Structure 1
Amino acid sequence: MLSRFQQLSGSAVSVVLAVLFAGVVVSVVVLEPGVIVGGDDPGPSVESVSGETTVTISYTDATGAAQTATVSGVDPTRTSAADDWAIVDRSSLPPALRAVDDGPAHGVVGFGEWALVGATKTATVPIDGTTLTVVVPAGRDVDPDRKVGFIEAFAGPYSLSGDTDSVVLVSVPDTFPNRGLMYADDRGYVTTESFWDGDAHSVWIHEYIHARQDFRTADGMTWFREASARYLSQRFMQEQYEGVTTSDVHAALAGRSEDTAVTLANRTTWDGTNGHYYVGARLLAAVDAEIRAASEGDHTVVDVFWAMNAEDDPVTIERFVELVERWTERDQPWIRDAIEGDRPIPERHERSN
């Protein structure tokens, strides 16, 4: 089933929380190496307001002084008194807690505007010149060892290059607004508990690929970020996992025919929709087929992704076409036409297998 699989154990974290649900204060204690937290007083007594939750965090700062931080207005679906954790607005934390956010082995793990505070399970693997860590709130039905193992097995065989030092993915409840989201600091979240979406895609790989996108794009190439994450997720799954077939990828590429009005180079035609995900993925499938055919399978669109990461300037449409032509050794004017909407995308992805 897996081409490769690696498991590593995560380390314990420590923070003390007092979470108030409907007027009942519950104190929880988790261990964190190197930080002294807790004490006899779980924090001030607070009240639930309009169904929201107040979280009290007791900790000891770097001077050894006992401190308490209270965060109100927390979404109750993003806390667990039984399992000792809460996800709060990152800006609501005092500087002392934000300061320990230099690694997921601490009791505070920041990702974008959010922070996971409290008990977690973690797993880390080295992969393609970086490190990948999956962080899971305690009690959540997600095995971080399996998740890093799957990503390492399915995405590890591909060199994406770039200067990414580390990637952190946090498993969060599905009350977050997206199935997955990667922030600029290469930390993101995934709401789906399963690794495989059941078709030809994996949100976990999709978000990991986003973290490896170290290139900048010019206006006409903005679509490439989501399109490449979607297409490469499909290809990685098809090539590394027996549960996803070439037919599954073709079916996924053929879907969403209503997106034919999307012009990739014109953001106003797809802004606020997912149209560029699907139209862009179909274009990249055609590009991939062209590269594989011209190189007799020695090169793929992954080589273009790698080359884009090596670029110093924002990648324009012209530069993207040039990079494809590097690997096909022939002119490919149809790519620019397809991006700008002057010609439909050729049905070449049937050859991409």
Structure 2
Amino acid sequence: MPDRRVRVTGTLFVAVLLVFAGVSPALATTDAGPVAGDGWTTATTLPASAATTAPQQEGSSLHERIVASRNDEPGSVSLTFEYRVPDSVTGLRVGVPVLSIPGITVASTDGFERTETTRFLWDTETDRPSVTLRLAVGDELGSGVRGVERGDWALVSQPNTRVQIRTDDRAVRTSSFGVASGEPGYASSHLAYLGTHERRNVTVADERATFVLGAEDADPTRATAFLTAANEHFDFGVQRERITVFVLPLNEDATTGVDAATVDTAFWVGQSGLGFDGTGAVFAHEYVHTRLGTVGVDDATWLTEASAEYYGHLFALNDGVGDYETFRSDLRASEYDPDRRSVVLTDPETWTGTTAHYDKGAHVLAALDAEIRRRTDGARTLRDVFTGRSEPFRDYRAFRTAVTRVADDDSLGPWLDRYVTTDALPPLPENPRYYVAAPSLDPDGDGTASGAEVERGRHPFVAGAGPDGAVTTSTATDTTDGTETTAGAGRTTTTPPTETEGSAPGFGVVAALAALLIVVRLEKRRQ
């Protein structure tokens, strides 16, 4: 997805959330492993940060360190799982679920006996037992490979493990991910970049951002400015101690099969992903994923990419990126790559293999945001539905309930049902006041903050827009341009809008971009 993806850092996402295109979700698979019993207990995993204090916990905690390294011959990367076993542990069993996937094999073991395809048993004698896997990597992330390798660099993700121990103490483990000693590279938040790079650390709003720059001339200045604005104005009430941005040495033409993705509190982009040429910036989309993570599951799965798509565009616009006309054009869903089809968001079978969960999802959320603002007279927004959540919506019904509660309006439920549970599209909000995400910012650079411009009847995103620099922003009930599309029927019906929104330059047009999430990431997105 060159743009798109997972949840709150402070509270670690226990599952490795690989919200990206092209990379097999199998790397995030968890294994139920052997059933605990007969003295075996599943070890509680502490946050990765606890691994730094593991030496003081010797005798009470089992420490797991996963070390990534490149091999002499191209085409594979090694991952070694090393264990420091405290005296209080008398038995250790390790499950590595990814071993059930083609392209991942066991290279060697030390102190472990392989008891099943994915499981290993410690011999109780070896002080530092280990298992080394070999992962197939290729030019692209996808079928048959579990990482990417191009020239003198590689990128891999940390697989999950299932650890059970015998002990009379509390069963606890800490885990860390790193790069082999003496090998250039950097690992953070379940991702490892293997290759020569430069690192730059910046602190914004008490959050440390580490840029891992694989490209010599990569410049994170604009991205850093966006992070500053985002932390101050667009954070959904979420703050992390740190995030990591891996900037791969790829220009825009070379991102096919790699694109961009977020895993936990880290994400990767190509060198071109640092650019903010328009509101569809890859960087902004991935930033939202680090904040919201997996937003919904089951028939609310579409919310994860829809929210990143909508807010990625919205936050970039409010940070002065791109122009208003293109912003609305990009938000307007009209067809879903790679083929046009009738799409119902609550039915993943209708949109799997397309970009509809990005495109239609973002379009619907934009309209929903405007409805919430209108019905609460601006007191609440869609962000109030997402802010502070630590768990995904378990289904669409849970999301719908949260929306009606925030708006304090049960009639919003049927409105939302129409566009989420059928193939209908709502009219896209026309009045720019509905897109103001931070009233104190001045995205059009005319010296007046957005909130003040809206109050004065001026366009907050287009300096001097409308007659005499003003645009009509009446308080009539209509929030859209009056157009509703029913994708399945292939017809568009138009009803007269009830207010004169859209008279200024920058209102109108059509377009759609995107990229697919879990199964395939369509290259066209974010390019």
TM-score, length-scaled by structure 1: 0.65
Contact in 1 for aligned 2:363/2:428 (Cα 8 Å): no
Offset at 1:212?
Answer: 1.1
Give the Å deviation of 1:164.
4.6
Matched, 1:136 2:213: yes
> Compared with structure 1, are the counterparts of its residues 134 and 119 closer, same or farther at alpha carbon in structure 2 (3 Å cutoff)?
closer
The answer on whether the counterparts of 2:186 and 2:212 sit within 8 Å (CA) in structure 1 is no
Residue 188 (1) aligns with residue 255 (2) = no
Aligned residues: 271
Closer, same or farther in 2 for the Cα pair 1:145/1:222, shift >3 Å? same
Contact kept, 8 Å, 1:155 with 1:205, in 2: the verdict is: no
Q: Equivalent of 2:225, from 139, 143, 149?
A: 149
CA positional deviation for 1:74? 7.5
One-letter code aligned to 2:417: R
Which of these residues, 422, 427, 438, is aligned with residue 347 of structure 1? 427
Corresponding letter in the other structure for 2:280? H
Q: 1:314 to 1:323 in 2, by over 3 A?
A: closer
1:235-257, Cα deviation, whole Å (9 max, x unpaired): 1122221x433322221122443
Report if the CA contact (8 A) 2:262-2:268 is conserved. yes
| Contact 1:155/1:236 (<8 A) preserved | no
Superimposed CA distance per residue, residues 47-89 of structure 1 (whole angstroms, 9 cap, x where no aligned partner): xx7xx58999xxxxxxxxxxxxx99977697345xxxxx3254
Answer with 1 or 2: which has the greater Rg. Answer: 2
Written as runs of structure 1 = structure 2, the 5 A alignment for 1:40-189 is 52=74, 78-80=150-152, 86-89=153-156, 99-100=177-178, 107-110=185-188, 112=190, 114-127=192-205, 130-137=207-214, 139=216, 141-154=217-230, 156-162=232-238, 164-172=240-248, 173=250, 174-175=254-255, 177-183=257-263, 185-189=264-268
Residues 256-299 of structure 1 show CA distances to partners (whole Å, capped at 9, x for unaligned) of: 43556111111111112211100000100111111221233333
Instruction: Summarize deviations over 1:96-133 as a string: whole Å, max 9, x none.
Output: xx7546xxxx9422565643343323233234x74332
Matched, 1:261 2:336: no
SS of 2:425 mapped into structure 1: coil
Residues 265, 171 of structure 1: CA spacing in aligned structure 2 closer, same or farther, 3 A cutoff?
A: same
Residues 235 and 88 from structure 1, CA distance in 2 versus in 1: closer, same or farther, beyond 3 angstroms?
Answer: closer
Task: Give the conservation status (yes or no) of the 8 Å contact 2:202–2:210.
Answer: yes
CA contact (8 A) 1:123 1:144 kept: no
**For the structure 1 residues 215 and 275, does the alpha-carbon distance in structure 2 shift closer, same or farther, using more than 3 Å as the test?**
closer
Aligned residue among 218, 230, 253 for 2:309: 230
| Alpha-carbon shift at residue 194 of structure 1 (Å) | 4.9
Matches within 5 A, 1:280-291: 280-291=361-372
Q: In the alignment, is the contact (CA less than 8 A) between 1:304 and 1:324 conserved in 2?
A: yes
| Aligned residues of 1:154 and 1:237 also touching (Cα < 8 A) | no
Q: CA RMSD in A?
A: 3.6
Q: 1:315 to 1:124 in 2, by over 3 A?
A: farther
How far apart, in 2, do the equivalents of 1:277 and 1:313 lie? 17
What is the DSSP-based 3-state SS (H/G/I as helix, E as strand, rest coil) of the residue aligned with 2:202?
A: strand
| CA–CA separation in structure 2 for the residues paired with 1:90 and 1:338 | 36
Match of 1:217 among 287, 296, 306: 296
Shift of 1:326: 2.7
Q: Secondary structure at the match of 2:330?
A: helix
Task: Tell me the residue number matched to 2:397.
Answer: 318
Alpha-carbon distance in 1 for matches of 2:230, 2:311: 11
SS of the residue 1:229 aligns to: helix
Contact 2:261 2:286 in 1 (8 A): yes
Within 2, Cα distance between the matches of 1:90 and 1:248?
Answer: 35
TM-score by length of 2: 0.45
Report the secondary structure of 1:335's partner residue.
Answer: helix
User: 1:210, 1:73 → 2: CA distance?
Assistant: 25
Q: What code does the residue aligned with 2:327 have?
A: V
| Maintained 8 Å contact 2:198/2:212 | yes
- What percent of counterpart residues are identical? 24
- Cα distance per residue 1:20-69 (max 9 Å; x no partner): xxxxxxxxxxxxxxxxxxxxxxxxx96xx7xx58999xxxxxxxxxxxxx
CA contact (8 A) 1:261 1:269 kept: yes
Structure 1: tracts of 5 or more residues without a match: 1-44, 57-69, 81-85, 93-97
Distance 2:137 2:428 in 1: 52
Higher helix share: 1
Which of 277, 288, 302 in structure 1 is aligned with 2:358?
Answer: 277
